[in-house]
Chains A and B, each alone.
Chain A
Amino acid sequence: QKEVEQDPGPLSVPEGAIVSLNCTYSNSAFQYFMWYRQYSRKGPELLMYTYSSGNKEDGRFTAQVDKSSKYISLFIRDSQPSDSATYLCAMSSYSSASKIIFGSGTRLSIRP
């Protein structure tokens, strides 16, 4: 079993819809959680970064962490065609903070 599981998609939604992207993990020591967006032929760019449980909002993006369920989510409101990309979740633990574990990524397509 992988430490971090992420549905690869592809996920296709109409413009303006709310998108929900999710990851589950098995290591209860994970405390730092990240979401990256990766456009084709580019490197991943950091979208959201959260510590421990709770929600964090940044514009149209909300990151949610539920440590009791070992489940993290990224919500995109009012989705735009420019949001079409692959989204990678990532996480690390306090004792191994420099080693980040990535999900395999979800490919998202927003239809105009």
Chain B
Amino acid sequence: DGGITQSPKYLFRKEGQNVTLSCEQNLNHDAMYWYRQDPGQGLRLIYYSQIVNDFQKGDIAEGYSVSREKKESFPLTVTSAQKNPTAFYLCASLSLGTGLGQPQHFGDGTRLSIL
């Protein structure tokens, strides 16, 4: 079945540590996205990428970094500069080649907590 796989499901970060969240998709989608979701709040865009080796900052990129070396993969690193990383992180993808206005499809998220 095609879909988006996020791992791990739960992740704990120590002070001063960088952690990397994995996102892999086998939908052959061009664009990939990372969102942060805090309790009772909507989705806030961290980074997005429409093509391999290119990505753009979203609304809350500070303290995060990404790479897009393969079409299928878009890992997110939460750096030690992100002082409040506890949140639910969602990865999404979207097809750009099948017409405009396509909806995003989501993975099942990674819950990150501070130790």
What residues of B have a CB within 8 angstroms of the CB of A54 in the complex? none
1/0 contact trace for A70-112 toward B, CB 8 Å?
Answer: 0000000000000000001010101001111011110000000
**B94 contacts A41, C-beta separation under 8 Å:** no
1/0 contact trace for B3-25 toward A, CB 8 Å?
Answer: 01010000000000000000000
A: interface residue count bin: 20 to 34
What residues of A have a CB within 8 angstroms of the CB of B106 in the complex? 36, 43-45
1/0 contact trace for B91-115 toward A, CB 8 Å?
Answer: 0101010001111111111010000
- Alpha-carbon distance between A49 and B43 when the two chains are bound, in angstroms: 18
The smallest C-beta distance from B61 to any residue of chain A, in angstroms, reads 14
The smallest C-beta distance from A12 to any residue of chain B, in angstroms, reads 16
Query: Residues of B at under 8 Å CB distance from A?
Result: 4, 6, 31, 40-43, 45, 48, 50, 88, 90, 92, 94, 96, 100-109, 111
